[in-house]
Amino acid sequence: MAQSYSSLTQTPQPDDQRIVVTGMGVVTPLGLGKETFWAGLVAGRSATGPATQCNLSDLPCRVVAEVPDFAAHDFMDHREARKLSRASQFAVAAARMAVADAHLTIDDSNREAIGALVANSSTSPPEIEISTQAFFERGPSRINPFHFAASLPHMPACQVAIQLGLLGHSTSIGTACAAGAQAIGEAAEIIRRGDADVMLAGGSEATICRLTIASFVSLRALTTSAELPPAAASRPFDARRDGFVLGEGAGILVLERLSDARRRGAPIYGELLGYGAAGDAYHITAPHPQGAGAARAMQRALTRAQLSPADIDYINAHATSTPAGDIAETIAIKQVFGEHAHRIPISSIKSMIGHLTSAGGAVEAAATLLALQHHLLPPTINYEYPDPACDLDYVPNTARPAPLTVAMTNSFGFGGINSALVFRRAPNVEDSASV
């Protein structure tokens, strides 16, 4: 393992190299906006339930986590919205909320220095399903002319730039379940190297349809239990877990230099201290059984942040509610944190919102920042039967007050892509965001 440092001996960085989060926008199964999202998390409310967007009656998995009451025309012209995939609509909505939350004005004086890095990995399965059905049933002339362009994985990032008028560094990343967190980590590097002053970073995904569900069922990745009610289907770390619940949504953070944020009097949620990424090189879908790549990613994030394991007050786990994945993450945490692992509170908000795949890491980063701001740990709900192989403190079922300064959030993707982010509370209390 790489060297760790104590926070007491951190090498100070100049303010123009310190990256802070000044705004956030979320579209989640718990609702729209950070206030609704956070209230749902603190209340331990499950957003998983029967699918309404598609008929899953003939499939063994019928539980999903859908975004309720989403109206794209609330965030963009309704004619433009019709050309966009649901994932792009989510991304634009989250980006607009994040910009407003950051009190950021975008105009000709700064738009060339503002970019977007929005993760997406799916090529819009619901839209593909609709177009494929139209093609075979009604012929090629019935294909939506915008289908191909609208379904490209980088289109959520493009649409954020188009709809908000951003002329800076814009791109995407498609590393599946690790992508949202990696987008945030890589966006910070874009700012540090001088290619942007502000980045809108995160992820967006909307994959709920028969094609996706059937594909994940064939992988044996989704929960298929008929014994549990839909609200209890996602149960990370619990001994009765049998797979994840597919969710949808988007999370966008506004990243900028600390010096710039202070200059414009922006609210500050927290500072991104460390980002680590590592590969398993093991299997296309299964995690390394000893969590080797996950451990390396966490260690690299700690090393980059110049922190020791004892400096971490909370871990927002990737934990998807799969039998192998939750054990591997537990093993990885023990490997990195040693005895301190048993003292760190750990929770998985996927117990409430399901697995948002490429959007998951970004939405969970937002949850981590809100936990730091409120000194409150979101729970892991549906935790009823302890698994001897998962023996850490998973903040079961009820939110818990706790003094928090530094937190880590993990995101692990198909193909053995692992990432970890470390955040610290706002540098000064007077800079803290009002949420």
H or E element at residue 400: strand 400-401
| Active site annotation includes 177 | yes
Q: What is the Cα gyration radius of the chain?
A: 20
**Cα 301-305-310 angle, rounded to 5 deg:** 85
| Active site annotation includes 288 | no
Evaluate whether 324 touches 29 at the Cβ level (below 8 Å).
Answer: no
Q: What is the dihedral of CA 288, 186, 38, 394, to 10 degrees?
A: 20
Question: For 431, how many CA atoms within 13 A lie in the half-sphere containing its CB?
Answer: 22
Instruction: State how far the Cα of 8 lies from the Cα of 311, in Å rounded to an integer.
Output: 10
Evaluate whether 365 touches 345 at the Cβ level (below 8 Å).
Answer: no
Instruction: State how far the Cα of 369 lies from the Cα of 98, in Å rounded to an integer.
Output: 14
Instruction: State how far the Cα of 244 lies from the Cα of 360, in Å rounded to an integer.
Output: 13
| Active site annotation includes 340 | no
Taking residue 82's Cβ as centre, other Cβ atoms within 10 Å add up to: 13
Question: For 51, how many CA atoms within 13 A lie in the half-sphere containing its CB?
Answer: 22
Q: What are phi and psi of 364, to 5 degrees?
A: -70, -30
Evaluate whether 412 touches 329 at the Cβ level (below 8 Å).
Answer: yes
H or E element at residue 256: strand 249-257
**DSSP conformation class of 388:** T
Annotated active-site residue in 147, 169, 288, 318: 318
Instruction: State how far the Cα of 374 lies from the Cα of 356, in Å rounded to an integer.
Output: 24
Q: What is the dihedral of CA 318, 129, 284, 246, to 10 degrees?
A: 20
H or E element at residue 68: none
Evaluate whether 306 touches 9 at the Cβ level (below 8 Å).
Answer: yes
Annotated active-site residue in 158, 177, 209, 390: 177
Instruction: State how far the Cα of 33 lies from the Cα of 90, in Å rounded to an integer.
Output: 12
Question: For 76, how many CA atoms within 13 A lie in the half-sphere containing its CB?
Answer: 25
The catalytic residues are: 177, 318, 355
